[in-house]
Amino acid sequence: MYLIFVLQVTVGSLEAQAIHGIPAPGELVDVGGVNMHILCKGRGSPTVIISAGAGQWSTAWWEIQERLASHRRVCTYDRAGFGWSEGGTTPRTADNMVVELHELLVNARVEPPYLLVGHSFGGYVVRRFAHRYRGEVAGVALVESGHEDMWTQQPDSVLSVIDRLTDELGIVEGMVRSGTLRGSSLPPHPYFDKSPEFRAVYEAELTSVEHYEALIAIMSDIHTSAAQVGSTRTLGALPLVVVSASNSYDAFPDAGFPLEEANEAWMALQHDLLSLSPNVEHVVSSTGTHEINWIEPDLVIGAIERLAEKAQVAQLPAVLPGSSTPEVDSLLRVLERAYDGMDVSGFVSLFTDDVVQHDVPRRVTVIGKDAWTTQTSQLNALHRVMSRTHHGRIQVGNLVVAEVQWTGTVRGAALGSPTDRRYNYTGIVIMELEDGLIRRQLIYGDAPTLTAQLRLER
């Protein structure tokens, strides 16, 4: 969405200094024959890696980096073609940018683990990085992140404006090439106008042909990048923080968006990102916009700090072992297959006739196999897909305690919604066994996460 800001310019008369004539604040590192710029500050582990929006570069995160670096190691970088980085190879897809980023970190000797922070298009990059290099990632923060469906599942009135503005990128590039777009014609900016040095970088970058070449290349392959991101709908159990602005599109008041409709559609996509991990927190700003890193840096810094805390807890050893007795492991596997297959008869056959289930957080109790069969059938009818996975487990006498992850897609019609909604949350289940069947089941699930992901009234 940052490209929209780039297009809100007018024609002036003064030439800006080329950005490569301004000394790079960080290090230029060879990545496959291309020099890429990375700036690291502070000390500690894990290292925070910030991936900026499609038309942004490292300077856009200078204030947040400076403040975090007082007690953490933080690295910003410029994707190929932006800031002080040279142009990269094509196509400019998210997956190719992930490979470049990983090689940049290796060659710059920035060792894992990483806390990945992705803003706007940068959200695509960090999600794919976390998928490809899972063992090197300690947590992910998605700050006003792009969603894989944002190019197809927003209202036509929104998509038509995006299409028009994307087409106009070529016009702006032509203005730069012809010299009719000058630095002084760029509008005032609340962030880059904080100092003459910032303003000089701002003017140099946004009057650079390379900037528009790189941005057009990204937009030319945006549907491929979206498909790459959408092909992996989970971050596993990685700690995740999603930062969203309920007035996101207010950043572009002159672009022609129907703001109320656009912001509502954007928030629906933001809510869907919560299903990427069961270990998730959603931070919503009612006053910020898409450029929340400039408008509300305190909010973003706080979210990154909480992500670091989540990552620290997640690195603790697992409480329960990965396997129990062969009988218990076999029972749990059969239970998972029946649940995943939405096989009502197969599922309830694993319980005794006098089964009692109590969902503690939601205060729902079911007594007897007939009632259990009815509730299971009703639950299946609400879903398109369901999954229940048992992780750590232990048996003490006739009791089994298991760490469980539930995922699923609830039909939109069941929620009064035009679209389906996905969820992903965790909890603890305590089962009392009798002759190899489940007689009692207590569920302690993360009900607040489920409620937030399905957007139900609490």
**405: part of which helix (H) or strand (E)?**
strand 399-410
Q: Are residues 183 and 307 in the same domain?
A: yes
Name the pLDDT band for 314 (thresholds 50, 70, 90). low
Q: Are residues 196 and 229 in the same domain?
A: yes
Structural domain span for residue 374: 326-454
pLDDT of residue 4: 44
Here the CATH number for the domain that contains residue 223 is: 3.40.50.1820
Cβ pair 198, 11 in contact under 8 A: no
Average pLDDT score over residue span 282-288: 92
DSSP labels, 333-401: HHHHHHHHTT-HHHHHTTEEEEEEEEETTTTEEEESHHHHHHHHHHHHHHEEEEEEEEEEEEEETTEEE
Amino acid at 51: S
Report d(CA 148, CA 276) in Å as an integer.
12
248 Cβ neighbours under 8 A, 6+ residues apart: 1, 144, 262, 263, 266, 267, 289, 290
CB-based contact 271:78 (threshold 8 Å): no
- Domain endpoint, select from 279, 314, 349: 314
More confident residue, 2 or 367: 367
Kindly state the average pLDDT of the residues 289-294. Answer: 92
pLDDT of residue 457: 45
* Phi, psi angle pair for 332, to nearest 5°: -65, -35
Question: By 3-state DSSP, what share of the chain in percent is helix, strand and coil, each rounded to 5?
Answer: 45, 25, 35
CA 4 vs. chain centroid, Å, equals: 21
Look at residue 11 and tell me whether its pLDDT is greater than 50: no
Same domain, 270 and 373: no
Distance CA 179, CA 6 (A): 16
The bridge status of strand 399-410 relative to strand 421-434 is: antiparallel
Residue 383 and residue 365: Cα distance in Å, rounded?
21
Residue 450: φ, ψ to 5°: -60, -45
Within a domain: 320:
no
Bridge partners of 434, per DSSP, are 437
Q: Is the pLDDT of residue 2 over 60?
A: no
**Average of per-residue pLDDT values in the chain:** 87
Residue 83 binned pLDDT confidence (cut-offs 50, 70, 90):
very high
Is position 319 within any domain? no
Q: How many domains in the chain?
A: 2
Q: What is the pLDDT of residue 328?
A: 92
Tens digits of per-residue pLDDT, 402-426? 989 898 899 999 888 888 888 888 8
Residues facing 367 on adjacent strands: 356
pLDDT tens string 105-147: 999 999 999 999 999 999 999 999 999 998 899 999 999 999 9
Residue 209 has pLDDT above 80, yes or no: yes
Do 28 and 164 share a domain, yes or no? yes
Pair (198, 303) in one structural domain: yes
**Do the Cβ atoms of 115 and 304 come closer than 8 Å?**
yes
Residue 1 reports pLDDT greater than 80: no
User: Is pLDDT above 60 for 14?
Assistant: no
Task: Examine residue 427 and state whether it is found in any structural domain, yes or no.
Answer: yes
Residue 368 backbone class (left: φ over 0; alpha: ψ -120 to 50; beta: rest): left
Q: What are phi and psi of 91, to 5 degrees?
A: -75, 155
Give the HSE-up count for residue 268: Cα atoms under 13 Å, Cβ half-sphere. Answer: 17
**Tens-place pLDDT, residues 329-342:** 999 999 999 998 99
Higher pLDDT, residue 185 or 151? 151
**pLDDT score of 178 more than 90:** no
What per-residue string of b and e applies to 15-36 under the rule 16 or more CB within 10 Å gives b?
A: ebeebeeeebbbbbbebeebeb
Which CATH number fits the domain that encloses residue 347?
Answer: 3.10.450.50
* 335 and 303 within one domain: no
- 10 has pLDDT over 50: no
Confidence of residue 316 (pLDDT cuts 50, 70, 90): low
pLDDT on residue 246: 94
Q: Specify whether 91 is located in the same domain as 224.
A: yes
* Tokens matching residue 215: 């941005």
User: For residue 241, what are the β-bridge partners?
Assistant: 141, 281
**Contact indicator for 273, 242 with CB cutoff of 8 Å:** yes
pLDDT per residue over 250-278, tens digit each? Answer: 888 777 888 888 899 999 999 999 989 87
| pLDDT at res. 313 | 64
**Residues 310 and 330 reside in one and the same domain:** no
